[in-house]
Amino acid sequence: MDLARVSSKGQITIPIEIRKKLNLKEGDKVLFLEEDGKIVLANSSYIALREMQDEMKGKAEEAGLVSEESVNELIKNIRKGQMENLNESND
């Protein structure tokens, strides 16, 4: 188990082993999710990718995903939706 201290500004340093497991690098965004009464830290890129894969299930053409650009736009929209959901739940 790893331990981190919260600073006076509410900041923490994610321990190196956790960063490795989440494949986090400088500048990456993390997501805090509530699951079964626990708060879970996740790499937002992986969550967006997982949601996109669930959405796709063989329907890339139907969704208009015909280029890397269109895939990137979908990921950007999913991330935006995640942030909006988090903001709504914090209100």
Query: Quick check: pTM over 0.85?
Result: no
Rounded-to-integer distance, Cα 80 and Cα 91, Å: 17
pLDDT given at position 9: 96
Which of the two residues, 7 and 73, has the higher pLDDT score?
7
pLDDT tens for each residue of 16-69: 999 999 889 999 889 898 989 999 898 888 777 777 777 767 777 777 777 778
pLDDT given at position 13: 94
pLDDT given at position 66: 75
Q: Are 56 and 65 in contact (CB under 8 A)?
A: yes
Token pair 């999710």: residue: 33
> Which of the four pLDDT bands, split at 50, 70 and 90, describes residue 91?
low
